[in-house]
Structure 1
Amino acid sequence: MSCSAERKNILSKTYHNTTARYNAYFYAKENIREIEKIINDSYDNDYNNILDIYPEIDSVLAKTYEDKVEECIKKASIAIQRHKNSKWVDDSYILIGLARFYDTDYVNAIETFKYVNTKSEDPDARHRGLVHLLRTFTDYTEYNNATSVSDYLKKEKLNKSNQKLLYINRAHYYQVQEDYDNMVQNLVKAAPLLKKKDGKGRIYFIIGQVYQMLGFDAEAFNYYKRCIASNPEYELDFHARLYMAQVTELGKSSDLKSARKLFKRLLKDKKNKEFKDKIYYEMASFEMRQNNLNDAIKYLKESVKASTNNNRQKGQSYLKLGEIHYDSLRKYELAKAYYDSTITVLPKDYQNYEQIKERQGVLADFVKQLNTIHLQDSLLALSEKDSISIRKQIDEYIAAEAEKKKQEEEKERKRIRRNTFNQLQDNTGFSSTSWYFDNPSAIAMGQTEFKRVWGDRALEDNWRRYNKESEQDFEEVKNNTNLPTDKEDVEVGEENPETVLTAQAEKMYSQIPFSSEAKKRALTQIEEAYYNLGNIYYFKLHEEQNASSSFETLLQRFPDTENEPEVLYYLYLINKNLGRDTEKYKRRLLSQYPNTTYAKLLANPNYTEESTAANEQLKKAYKNAYELYLNKQYQEAIGILNQAMNNYQETVFTPRLKLLKILITGKTEDINLYQYQLTELIKEHPDSDITPYVKELLAASENFLKKQRRLLGTEFVKYFNQEHYLVVVYDAGKGLTDQIYPLIEAYNDANFQEKKLKTSNLILNENQSITMVSSFEDKQSAVSYFQKFVSEDVISEKTQNSKIYKFVITKDNFNIFYQSKDLEAYIRFFDKNYKNEL
């Protein structure tokens, strides 16, 4: 009873403090240490970037130690429940919070640390709970709460242990925020409080990295030196020495020589054999700072060769090669190849992996356009030559490629032999003067290399041949009368080289565009490639000079390109930014393409903002008009549409309003007028997103009339008790529409204003156009109008210098006439059925 957890006497407290600390609490703490060891061991240190203060924890990793989390919570709970009068209750709650934190159960971890802060009477325990809460909020991305905790702790007096942990956790918060100034300040404050068990060598190294990144080389040097003095593990020691060479003061040429000697010593040190790729990488970085790009490229290639098991380092070396060729040398094809290799080997968790992959995609597209232009231009040039010259050039190309391949294979064989020999030297230590067959290791290595190249082969004659006949088989084959000729005597599985070359030549020959259609396709590919190339230069590579050259070439080679308005606008912007003359681009765009968005942007720099506001108003008007259209209130809908288009400037939404007006025309007017308006809308807005739909409507209407015409035949209908039109047909291409339309409009306004007649224009065919007056209620009113129209000679053939046909026609017959285009047939029908009434 004297040891009951309910009692507060000295005996009870001593018993429960001792039992809690050295039983349940002890084992729970051991579980936390094991969890932290698993997390640290799984962390892949990327020494090319600033090391993380804390390794990243994710749910996948957490599953590997979930049993230890459960055991920790169980043991700590025992300490809380059975020894609730001990001083280790608060510490046990903190262990439970840490277990939940490492299990990525951030919500419950936060609640646990908050509980310690509010319920504990021990200020050190409360402070420790808050310090862990700061880290939890940081990893849970609740940065405002993390800041609040940090600010609160600034006012509190912490013991050294909590103070040290607070500085480190604050530095972790600032590292996540990429605020490296505040990060390094907190780490420097933590440094004097660190002990070996805290991994102070690693913290010193991180401080050195941050100072090096910020440009404080002297401070970085000092902390790398302190890292080495802390006697860290060899990998950390090696990288600290490596980076010390990077930040050594270089005031004289002798300093450069000393730094290079240090790198070479590190290379020769056998302990650094597995770090050769990293040493070469740092040598390359050193030479880049001295602007020695050639040496940097050489060392990066050596780094790639030395990276046998370290894909992260190999990927970083490829990436650096890609950046040099991309940013400094502007050799995009090589840069593309290096970026391809980078993405192949670089781990996906690498920093900025997505941006690297995006640049790879840009370069892939860029090289694709260059290759398209080069290939199609070459093929077009070949198409102008005679067949003998073409075949000769193809043969020369194939021979050159074969020689190039042969040289590459020989170079690869030499590389393999050299690497094999170097590996033998490293593994066995035999010298170049040793005889090969005196060294068992060399023989074993040679056998391995032989099998790699040739496979398992028996020691016998003709061992190179994959298929061999026995002597008996040979005698049988020799007596066979169907022996192959010398040309056919090739090994099984191999193709005759001449056949291969011939097939290759034929394939290349078949790609040459000889026909006009093939040449047109090739030119289209080149046109698209130049357009894409200009866009890549301008928008993705940000090279305005090259973008300008590509766009200029596009306009010179393809003056009829449909992309001309857009290209002229880009050339205007590029040359304006480069301080060059822009007037020719502006004048050409405004005069030739005044209705395009690009011209409007030039004429009004605020066009985009204004059109956005106008768009909203047009959308509201469209919605109201469309509701009226659905309710068949066509005139009201037309009124709203006209008012909207008159009150607001044309925007990308305007074609929708025009289309709705045309749909109303289709419901209320003649189908030919409906088709004409659809055709005009397509011409006015070829790039609108609704243009494909407009084309579908036009095609459907045309198909409907074709079917109707087939049903009606070519005969005109002798049913006259319906609407009539006056039709005037005249030569197209002479500009007569601009003369005839106003004459008829003026005539109707002066003489028939009360009838509210409409005048409209249509294209009959390639040679003739129509101006039409609609509509007359019946045949009699149409004939009366026609008589007056002709007698007053409203349109004179003499003054217009053209053959002009004038007649009246019913609505049904006009549909037949417009589809058949048979003017002579209808004139005969008109003379027969109307002339007797004139």
Structure 2
Amino acid sequence: MKISQKYIFTLIIGLIALISCVSHKKKGESSRLSKFYHNTTAKYNGYFNANELLGETILRLNQNHKDNYAQLLPIFPYNAVENVDAEKSNLDKIIQKASIDITLHKKSRWADDCYLLLCKSQYLKKDYETAESSFKYVLDEFTPNNLFNKDKSKKTLIKDKKKTSEDKKKAEKKAKEAAKKKAQDKIKAREKAKKQALKDKKNHKTPKNPTETTETISEPLPSGDKKDKEPKLNNVGSKLFPHTPAFWEATIWAAKNLTERAKYYESEQILRSIAKDPNTPKSTYGDLYATLANNFVRQKNFDQAIEALILATQYTKSKKTKARYAYILGQLYQQNKRPIASDEYFTQCSKLRPSYDMNLHAKMNLLLNKAQSGTPLEDVITQLNKLKKDTKNADYVSEINFTIAQIYYKEKKLPETIDYLNASLWDPSAKPNQKASSYLLLAEINFENQNYLKSKYYYDSTLQSLPKNDERKSLVSKMKNNLDDIAKQIEIITLQDSLIKIGSLSVKERRALAIQIKNEAKAKLVKPQIDRQAMEFNQFQPFGADGVNNKFDAFQDTRNGNAPNSGNPKASNFFAYDQRTLNRGRGEFEQNWGQRTLEDHWRRSNKTSFNFDIAATEETTEETKDSLEADLANILKDIPDDPKKLAEAHGKIQSAMFQLGVLYREKLENFQKSKTTHTDLLERYPKTERKPDVLYYLYLNCLDLNDPGCAASYTDKIIREFPETNYAKSLSDTNYVKALSVSVDVIADGYQKAYQSYNNHQYEQAFTELQIIKTKMPPGHPLMPKVALLNAFCSVYNNQNKDVYINALKDVVAQFPGTPEEIKAKEMIRFLKGDQDAFITVTSQEIEKAQFKMEDENVHFVFVLLFDPPAKQTDKAKIAISDYHQKYHKPENLKMSSLEFDVEKNTSLILIRKFDNRNQAMKYYNGVQRKSNEFIPNITNYEIFAVTQNNYREILRLKSVKEYQAYFNENYLNKKG
């Protein structure tokens, strides 16, 4: 009983003491018990669960990313994943958990960590704009100084205040003593100088004039070694329960976000600032320098990227991450043609035991470096072939073949290079990325050898194999576009040449050739289709690139008694291919059985029992004959079999040869090829209608090839043969020529200066120079489209207004139709409106594959495609369109609906229906073009199309509008409807 009374008494005293302590607490201030509760609950409830979920999400993203070893590997794989839709639900959960934790435990030490989780989730969702504002809030609100001061108690603050005051007094006292001493030292120095001057005067010595040398040192990259004695702010907890603020990690992730938004300078500056901060925790250095390296890589500043990534490797603990950084360093040094340094890091990568595919590619790169460093070629190839034979590498045979091809290519052994590239493409292990690299190298080889037709087809195949986010896509697309017109003219020449040659055959021979073509086409339908784009190259060219129909050549060989040759194939041992054996067997058969018709049951004397369906067979035979005749007529329909058709074929060849020569000059600046093509044209067709133009282009090519004698000869021909042409007048009138050349030089030089100013980011100066050029430029000058386009480019930088830029580009489209500048301006307009595929050219094969149909009299819709619309913009656009309909289309009772067309690219579609036919739909379309300011005011990120009901369904099936855009431009806008 006594024990219980003592216990109760002690408990009461403790409660009174606790209450008295609480009563002295300031209003709004949390008790220690309250702080402990909020800190513990915040950490081990919402924050812990959200952080675990984030770790799992990043792990899955890293696993989902597939590295393309033909390209520089991304430093952060989780950020290289193109589509993160599968993880958005988890990221939303993280945001929700972090938000609840912040709301319930505002005063906990883990509030900044929860905010960081929220920011990271927005970043991983690729919502970079929202993430930027969130990071800004965290960095402003949760600076280490703020947290450190908030966590101090009142007593500590008073002590600090007193200590600061005392330190201030001591500092002032020291400063006074130092000033006094400095004044005394000055007096002593002055007296000493006087005495020295007197001595020098007596000895007639000139006083010494010491010079100071200054050294300018470039700012080094902060290495993380800090010796400053500043107070540590990286622990706002206690010694028993330490807690590091999230500020430094948040800064690093904020820099990652800025890099994604192409704000490279801002990203670099905040990373450098925390690298110099003595309070930055050492555990963050690895991610800090990796982020800095990623920023430099995005800017193609590879030297600084190497420096930053080396530091990242030093401070990173994870072996897997270190191996990745080492591999990337090996790639960067390899790009910079430093094989020894590259070897060091590829070797380091292998020692860190990375994944099997990374280790294998590191070995292949080491062998590639050996080949560059002078190791005998045979030794390197032997080692690569050993890798290829290893059964573990069955999935990498295509890549090993490509590596061998690269080695041969650098040794300028083109036949071997092409063999291994084809082997790389044929192998079943070839993946799309690898195919793209092989196609691209084949395209480049053919381009270098001036095989432009083949090069164009390989560029086509490269584009189809490249992934959407591959940085090579824009360059490949540009090269393919440059070769499109050239390939078209070559195909016209080869086709017409072949048709003319076939037309010279007799009727019987033509028929035999047509049957051969039909049988080959039928065989192709049966043959398995293995990578038709590259493996069966002839499908690209119905007629050979050398100007002669391949089938015609084969037929001619057969006709002349020669066996068709497909590149000297090896002789077969199979008995049926031995001609002597066949002849011997035929002789023996005829001795025994005589001449027999090739038919079923040939050994039977009575075949009546087997002819029970003879009537049906004869009927089928008649139908087959009719079908065959129709097919043969279709094959031979384009053969020029009369003088008029023959003249047309020759006319097409003349026109194509002239255009081809011009294209070689204008598109590729290959003046020798242009000259050769035009010379061939004159040799083949000396009386061509384009002769004056051809002679003038030959004259220009001679000038560009620095051959004045050649230029003079063509000048004489133009003046002698075509004295009435403007070419002759300009070349014969020396004063006119001088004036013209001066004018051309002035305008060309002015344009070059303006273009150089534009490249140097001096946009105002470029704009001013362009205005001067315009005043000197005569109408119809060839540089007018280029000047107009560059003027449009400069306008955006001077006005900072996208609408002004778009209008300037529209002027280029209107004023210079059919020029390369018109195409470029159209692409830029689509890109400014938000079309991510604006610079990707759609091939004719892609359009045909889409199976769009012309149905002018059928029901039509109009749809509006909104590119990357912000929140609620689609609804605003629908309201604006509804108002437009009320004003201009009220009687038509048009209906409207909307849908999310492409979630990945964030494009929305508004469908307007319906119109009776194409003319009605295009009338609506043209009205919108004229009244675009009233249709959807203040919104430019959209495109509008007219479409049939069937074609609309095809667009939805494809989940892409780029094919229909090309189809619409060709069949609706470029035709009168």
Alignment TM-score, normalising by the size of structure 1: 0.58
Aligned equivalent of 2:506: 390
Aligned equivalent of 1:314: 435
Question: How far, CA to CA, are the matches of 1:601 and 1:79 in structure 2?
Answer: 82
Cα 1:288–1:648 shift into 2, 3 Å? closer
SS at match of 2:73: coil
Whether 1:548 and 2:675 are equivalent positions in the alignment is yes
Q: Out of 178, 185, 188, which is 2:300 matched to? A: 178
Whether 1:91 and 2:211 are equivalent positions in the alignment is no
Aligned equivalent of 1:63: 85
Report 1:475-490 matches (<5 A).
478=611, 482=615, 484=617
Whether 1:138 and 2:259 are equivalent positions in the alignment is yes
Q: Out of 445, 450, 456, which is 1:330 matched to? A: 450
Question: How far, CA to CA, are the matches of 1:481 and 1:495 in structure 2?
Answer: 15
Question: How far, CA to CA, are the matches of 2:494 and 2:436 in structure 1?
Answer: 31
Q: Deviations over 1:685-726 (max 9, x none)?
A: xxx999xxxxxxxxxxxxxxxxxxxxxxxxxxxxxxxxxxxx
Q: Deviations over 1:632-682 (max 9, x none)?
A: xxxxxxxxxxxxxxx9996339xxxxxxxxxxxxxxxxxxxxxxxxxxxxx
Question: How far, CA to CA, are the matches of 2:267 and 2:407 in structure 1?
Answer: 39
Q: Deviations over 1:555-599 (max 9, x none)?
A: 455566565565444333322222212224445667543389997
Aligned equivalent of 2:126: 104
Q: Out of 286, 310, 320, which is 1:188 matched to? A: 310
Structure 1 stretch displaced more, 342-351 or 196-205: 342-351
Report 1:387-786 matches (<5 A).
390-391=506-507, 393-394=509-510, 397=513, 478=611, 482=615, 484=617, 495=624, 500=628, 510-558=637-685, 563=690, 566-581=693-708, 582-586=711-715, 592-594=724-726, 604-607=740-743, 651-652=779-780
Matched to 2:339, the amino acid is: D
User: How far 1:140 moved relative to its partner?
Assistant: 1.4
Q: Out of 32, 41, 45, which is 2:63 matched to? A: 41
User: How far 1:548 moved relative to its partner?
Assistant: 0.7
Question: How far, CA to CA, are the matches of 2:480 and 2:522 in structure 1?
Answer: 30
Report 1:351-362 matches (<5 A).
351-362=471-482
Structure 1 stretch displaced more, 46-55 or 564-573: 564-573
Aligned equivalent of 1:754: none
Matched to 1:356, the amino acid is: V
Q: Deviations over 1:460-487 (max 9, x none)?
A: xxxxxxxxxxxxxx999846784756xx
Aligned equivalent of 2:425: 304
Question: How far, CA to CA, are the matches of 1:203 and 1:296 in structure 2?
Answer: 31
SS at match of 2:108: coil
Residue 224 of structure 1 contacts residue 241 of structure 1 at CA under 8 Å; is this kept in 2?
Answer: yes
Percent sequence identity is 26
SS at match of 2:780: coil
Matched to 1:335, the amino acid is: S
Cα 1:252–1:114 shift into 2, 3 Å? closer
User: How far 1:263 moved relative to its partner?
Assistant: 1.1
Cα 1:6–1:605 shift into 2, 3 Å? farther
Aligned equivalent of 2:496: 376
Structure 1 stretch displaced more, 96-105 or 54-63: 54-63
Residue 296 of structure 2 contacts residue 305 of structure 2 at CA under 8 Å; is this kept in 1?
Answer: yes
User: How far 1:119 moved relative to its partner?
Assistant: 2.6
Matched to 1:536, the amino acid is: L
Q: Out of 73, 76, 100, which is 2:98 matched to? A: 76
Whether 1:273 and 2:389 are equivalent positions in the alignment is no
Residue 194 of structure 1 contacts residue 200 of structure 1 at CA under 8 Å; is this kept in 2?
Answer: yes
Aligned equivalent of 1:644: none
Residue 369 of structure 1 contacts residue 529 of structure 1 at CA under 8 Å; is this kept in 2?
Answer: yes
Aligned equivalent of 2:602: none
Cα 1:257–1:689 shift into 2, 3 Å? closer
User: How far 1:413 moved relative to its partner?
Assistant: 13
Whether 1:114 and 2:241 are equivalent positions in the alignment is no
Whether 1:259 and 2:380 are equivalent positions in the alignment is yes
Cα 1:183–1:391 shift into 2, 3 Å? same
Cα 1:512–1:66 shift into 2, 3 Å? closer
User: How far 1:371 moved relative to its partner?
Assistant: 3.5
User: How far 1:342 moved relative to its partner?
Assistant: 3.2
User: How far 1:145 moved relative to its partner?
Assistant: 2.6
Cα 1:6–1:414 shift into 2, 3 Å? closer
User: How far 1:380 moved relative to its partner?
Assistant: 4.3
Aligned equivalent of 2:47: 25
Aligned equivalent of 2:470: 350
Residue 6 of structure 1 contacts residue 85 of structure 1 at CA under 8 Å; is this kept in 2?
Answer: no
Aligned equivalent of 1:798: none
User: How far 1:325 moved relative to its partner?
Assistant: 2.5
Aligned equivalent of 1:128: 249
Whether 1:199 and 2:321 are equivalent positions in the alignment is yes
Residue 394 of structure 1 contacts residue 505 of structure 1 at CA under 8 Å; is this kept in 2?
Answer: no
Residue 514 of structure 2 contacts residue 636 of structure 2 at CA under 8 Å; is this kept in 1?
Answer: no
Cα 1:349–1:131 shift into 2, 3 Å? closer
SS at match of 2:83: helix
Residue 339 of structure 2 contacts residue 373 of structure 2 at CA under 8 Å; is this kept in 1?
Answer: no
Aligned equivalent of 1:634: none
User: How far 1:350 moved relative to its partner?
Assistant: 2.9
Cα 1:394–1:175 shift into 2, 3 Å? same
Question: How far, CA to CA, are the matches of 1:648 and 1:257 in structure 2?
Answer: 63
Matched to 1:604, the amino acid is: L
Q: Deviations over 1:229-258 (max 9, x none)?
A: 1111222122112212111266666x4333
Residue 139 of structure 2 contacts residue 250 of structure 2 at CA under 8 Å; is this kept in 1?
Answer: yes
SS at match of 2:358: helix
Residue 59 of structure 1 contacts residue 104 of structure 1 at CA under 8 Å; is this kept in 2?
Answer: no
Show structure 2 runs of 5+ residues with no match: 1-18, 145-232, 235-245, 532-606, 751-774, 782-814, 818-977
Q: Deviations over 1:142-173 (max 9, x none)?
A: 23432442453454333322322221111111
SS at match of 1:351: coil
Question: How far, CA to CA, are the matches of 2:102 and 2:494 in structure 1?
Answer: 78
Cα 1:508–1:225 shift into 2, 3 Å? same
Cα 1:281–1:528 shift into 2, 3 Å? same
Question: How far, CA to CA, are the matches of 1:552 and 1:504 in structure 2?
Answer: 40
Cα 1:262–1:13 shift into 2, 3 Å? farther
Residue 353 of structure 2 contacts residue 359 of structure 2 at CA under 8 Å; is this kept in 1?
Answer: yes
Aligned equivalent of 1:229: 351
Question: How far, CA to CA, are the matches of 2:42 and 2:777 in structure 1?
Answer: 81
User: How far 1:521 moved relative to its partner?
Assistant: 1.6
Q: Deviations over 1:371-413 (max 9, x none)?
A: 3223434544666x6xxx5336536755876898899999999
User: How far 1:93 moved relative to its partner?
Assistant: 1.9
Question: How far, CA to CA, are the matches of 1:233 and 1:499 in structure 2?
Answer: 60
Matched to 1:182, the amino acid is: Q
Question: How far, CA to CA, are the matches of 1:513 and 1:306 in structure 2?
Answer: 43
Cα 1:371–1:414 shift into 2, 3 Å? closer
Residue 371 of structure 2 contacts residue 377 of structure 2 at CA under 8 Å; is this kept in 1?
Answer: no
Question: How far, CA to CA, are the matches of 2:438 and 2:107 in structure 1?
Answer: 60
* Higher Cα Rg, which structure: 1
Paired residues, number: 557
Question: How far, CA to CA, are the matches of 1:401 and 1:612 in structure 2?
Answer: 53
User: How far 1:541 moved relative to its partner?
Assistant: 3.6
SS at match of 1:187: helix
Question: How far, CA to CA, are the matches of 1:98 and 1:247 in structure 2?
Answer: 39
User: How far 1:611 moved relative to its partner?
Assistant: 8.0
